[in-house]
Amino acid sequence: MAGNVRWDRRSLLRGGALVAGAAAASPLLGRAAAAQDGGDADALFKAGKFEQAGRAYEEILKHDPGNVHAASRRGYVGLLSNRFSEAEKYLKTALKLAPGDKDTNRLMADCYLRQDRLSLSASHWRAAGMDVFATWFGAVRGEPYQVHGDIARLPFQQLDPTPLVEGSVNGGPPKPYVPYTGAPWLGLSKETAEEAGLTPVAKQQIDYLDGKSWQYFGVLDSFALDGIELRNVPVVWTETDQPSPGGADGGLIGTWVFYHLLTTFDYAGRSLTLRRRTPETARRARADAARAGAAPLPLWLAREHMTHSVGSVAGSGDRVVGLSVGGTGESAVAMSEETAKRWGVRIDHDRPLETFAHSRPVVTYPCYPEEVRLGDASAEDVYSVANPGQAPARNGFDVLTTFFHSFYKPYNITLDFTGMKVYVARGKAA
């Protein structure tokens, strides 16, 4: 598989794909305190103490300026919070020391990607072993993701099993799209791509369930969502024999679209609101959240599109959690089986669930935490899933659990990728 990329529109949304958070999460075993005592920068980072870890990496670099790992991780700390100049400074230092380091090159590519400096990202994607991305982004001409218009208010055409909103490609008729932060890009069905006359600039074959699928990468002229239009948009479409969760014409709107806007998933109001990102819209979002009694939570973005904040499970205290907003699934959260046992969560081993995560079959079990909490938003004894497969922390830090579609239904959730804050308020958005 070219580029070692496994994202796929259908596999991301297929029923149990929501347990991906559990597959990626590893339990937090109280290492933060030990890390603080021992000054262990890596342990601090792994425990999600990012600012403390950043300072610890800086201390290492003062005494050992040639430490590639410390420079790269210090750049990663900045990138998690979209502090681009800071991230670039340390990542460039690491690359001067080790130009071929794949992990650092991927971080630098991501840093340029988030700033829409796609041509600069291309060489770093290639150095990271992701040739398909290098070709794709190297083919984009001019400014990508050009935002026209100020606000889009998109009613959910349905809420379950997944929210659907309407979007239009190149001025064509509205079609259903799944909004989902668990996916990176704007994805189209093969039918929509053909109707739009899209020509791929790159392609790759990916593993999907028991077979293969083809992904095609191109550039779309226009994508309209009510009062907002995005122009010159990198886009992916997939050819597979599996049915689309959104119907034959369905597509998917991922995080790369949302972080160009101020995005509110208004579950309680059954709508998606997108605003142009400006200091004024960010100020209004903060004011609306304050009136609703919602305190700001940190927002971290890892590995191009994976959103995180802080939350808790069964009295664990605040730890790093994944935010998978939109998408599908009946479970409120997903966690590893070890995490569930660590925090005394009841697991029903008599009712295994055979499903898929990251396009691969997995077996999970229902579990029922006494409480899960995200800021002031909480649920008690809510249906969740535990995954016995213990994968290492894919992003370098532990994730306690991941919150999914079902959890958010009483709330509205605003993602501010400028201030890097999350606001979760009960009821309809103002």
What are the E-state strand segments in 170-210? 175-179, 186-189, 202-208
341 pLDDT band (50/70/90 cuts)? very high
Assess whether pLDDT exceeds 50 at residue 238.
Answer: yes
- In this prediction the pTM is 0.90
Helix (H), strand (E) at residue 31:
helix 31-38
Q: Please, what is the Cα angle at 237 between 203 and 6, to 5 degrees?
A: 65
Cα Rg, the chain, nearest whole Å? 21
Q: What's the average model confidence in pLDDT over 313-318?
A: 95
**Across 15-24, 294-303, 387-396, least confident range:** 15-24
Instruction: Choose between 13 and 270: higher pLDDT.
Output: 270
Assess whether pLDDT exceeds 80 at residue 355.
Answer: no
Both tokens assigned to 121: 């990202």
243 pLDDT band (50/70/90 cuts)? low
Both tokens assigned to 73: 């991780």
Assess whether pLDDT exceeds 80 at residue 178.
Answer: yes
* Pair 375, 297: CB distance under 8 Å: yes
Assess whether pLDDT exceeds 60 at residue 18.
Answer: no
Of the candidates 69, 50, 70, the residue with the CA atom closest to the CA atom of residue 60: 70
CA dihedral 82, 88, 89, 91 (to 10 degrees): 110
pLDDT in the model for residue 20? 40
Per DSSP, the residues of 363-428 read EEEEEE-S-EEETTEEESS--EEEE------TTSS----EE-GGGGTTEEEEEETTTTEEEEEESS
Q: Report d(CA 415, CA 325) in Å as an integer.
A: 10
pLDDT in the model for residue 4? 44
The contacts of residue 328 (CB under 8 Å, 6+ apart) are 13, 15, 17, 18, 160, 161, 162, 178, 245, 405
Assess whether pLDDT exceeds 70 at residue 31.
Answer: no
The tens digit of pLDDT for each residue in 112-155 reads 999 999 999 999 999 999 999 999 999 999 999 999 999 999 99
The tens digit of pLDDT for each residue in 59-75 reads 999 999 999 999 999 99
pLDDT in the model for residue 290? 87
Domains annotated for the chain, with CATH where assigned, are: 39-138 (1.25.40.10), 146-261 (2.40.70.10), 275-426 (2.40.70.10)
Q: What is the mean pLDDT of the chain?
A: 88
Of the candidates 104, 102, 174, the residue with the CA atom closest to the CA atom of residue 89: 104
Of the candidates 275, 357, 292, the residue with the CA atom closest to the CA atom of residue 324: 357
Instruction: Choose between 303 and 136: higher pLDDT.
Output: 136
**Across 264-273, 275-284, 301-310, 312-321, least confident range:** 275-284
* Pair 24, 391: CB distance under 8 Å: yes
Q: Give the whole-number percent of the chain exceeding pLDDT 70.
A: 86
* Pair 94, 101: CB distance under 8 Å: yes
pLDDT in the model for residue 394? 78
> Angle between the 118-127 and 102-114 helix axes, to the nearest 10 degrees?
160
